[in-house]
Amino acid sequence: MGELEGKVTIVTGAGRGIGRATAIRFAKEGATVICCARTTAQIAETVRLIEQAGGKAVALVADVGREADVARLFAALDEFGGRLDVLVNNAATLVVKPVLEMSLAEWDTVLAVNLRGAFVCSQRAMRIMAAQGGGAIVNLGSLSGVANVEKFPGLAAYNVSKYGILGLTEIMSVEGKPYGVRVNAVSPGAVDTQMLHEAAPHLHTSTTPDDIADTILYLASDRARHLNGANIIVFSNE
C-alpha cells in the first residue's frame, strides 16, 4: 500500500521542478494527482511520466492567479466525487528587479500568483476538506520568507509573498484544526530548478526537487498527523 493510496490530490505548478517531482511522488504512493500549470506541454509531460509508471493523473491548464481558472481546477474534482484529500500550493513566479525599478503591475502579478493564488486554492480546498471531515494542505514557502536568513536583492515581491504564505499557513492551521484540516509549509533554500537558475544563477546546490517532494509527501501523509502549522525549513546540506 502506498502512503497516499486512493487519495485525491491537487499539485499546483506541476509542470516542472518541485511540483513535477511532487506529482510523480504522490502518484507512486497511490494518489490520483490533478496537475495544474499554465504551459500545456509541461503538464502533459508530467502526466505522461506518471501514467507511464502506472499512476493516475489529470492535466489541467490553469493560472492560479485567475479565479475563473481556479474554479475550473476545482471543478475537475467532480470526476472523483468532489473529494480532495491533499492540496499542494506550489505554483509561484518571480520578477527579479530592485524596489526602485519595480512597477506596480510586476508587484501585483507576483502577489496575485504566489499569495492570492494560494489563498483562493486553500479557501476552496478548506471548504471541501471541512465538509468531508479532514485533509491536508502543504504550502511552499522559502528561506526568502524566513526572518534573519540572508536575502538577495531584486526579490522584494517574491520575499513578501513567501512571508505571506507562512502567515497564511499559520492562520489556516488554526482555523482548520476544528475540522481536521492540517496546514503546514516547507521552506526550502536553493533547489536545482528553472526558478533558481533564473533568480539566483550564482547559487549552486545539491538539493533536488525529489528531496523537497519527499518532505512534502511527509507533511501530506498520515505520518505527519501530529503536525499542524509547522514550517519545515530545508537548509542545503553543503
Ligand X SMILES: NC(=O)c1ccc[n+]([C@@H]2O[C@H](COP(=O)([O-])OP(=O)(O)OC[C@H]3O[C@@H](n4cnc5c(N)ncnc54)[C@H](OP(=O)(O)O)[C@@H]3O)[C@@H](O)[C@H]2O)c1
Query: Judging by beta carbons within 10 Å of its beta carbon (0-12, 13-18, 19+), is residue 230 exposed, middle or buried?
Result: middle
Q: Considering 158, 163, 179, 218, which one is annotated as catalytic?
A: 158
Single residue of 7, 16, 116, 182 touching ligand X by CB under 6 A: 16
Residues of span 29-58 touching ligand X by CB under 6 A: 36-39, 42
User: In the complex with ligand X, which residue's Cβ is closer, 71 or 131?
Assistant: 71
63 binds ligand X, rule: CB under 6 A: yes
Residues of span 132-151 touching ligand X by CB under 6 A: 140, 142
206 binds ligand X, rule: CB under 6 A: no
Burial 197-229 (b: 16+ CB within 10 A, else e): eebbeeeebebebebbbebbbbbbbeebeebbb
Active site residue 163: no
- Min dist. Cβ of residue 45 to ligand X (A): 10
Report the distance separating Cα 28 and Cα 21, nearest Å: 11
User: In the complex with ligand X, which residue's Cβ is closer, 130 or 233?
Assistant: 233
Residues of span 161-180 touching ligand X by CB under 6 A: none
- Ranked by CB distance to ligand X, the top (closest) residue is 17
DSSP-H helix ranges across 76-116: 104-111
Hey, what's the cell of 117? 493564488
Cβ atoms of 199 and 96 closer than 8 Å: yes
Hey, what's the cell of 158? 517574491
By the criterion CB under 6 A, which residues form the site for ligand X? 12-13, 15-19, 36-39, 42, 63-65, 90-93, 113, 140, 142, 188, 190-191, 193-196
